[in-house]
Amino acid sequence: YRPGQTIYFKGLLIDNLKEKRNISPNTPVTVTFYNTNYIQVSSLNLVTNEFGSFSGTFTAPIGGLNGRMSIQTNYGESATIMVE
């Protein structure tokens, strides 16, 4: 990604109970975007749809240090992106 570019993301929330896995419809999810120094850039409060998925966008920060940045949910899952 380039600074100022829109970053699209999509996720699926699955509930792991013992040996059974179920989707989690209508569940609140907080998604946070962190910069290279692990400082919060932005955050979104979302709700999963009837299929347990959620999506949204962030804008890559302009100025500051470029490099490896991350998108993380309040459930501890994360994805890493590169801004160059």
Report the pLDDT value the prediction gives residue 26, as an integer from 0 to 100.
96
* pLDDT at residue 19 in the model: 80
Q: Is 19 left (phi over 0), alpha (psi -120 to 50) or beta?
A: alpha
Q: For 7-40, what is each residue's pLDDT tens digit?
A: 999 999 998 877 888 999 999 999 999 999 999 9
Per-residue model confidence (pLDDT) at position 16 = 82
pTM (predicted TM-score): 0.91
pLDDT tens, position by position, 42-74: 999 999 999 999 999 999 999 889 999 999 999
Indicate the SS3 state at residue 27. coil
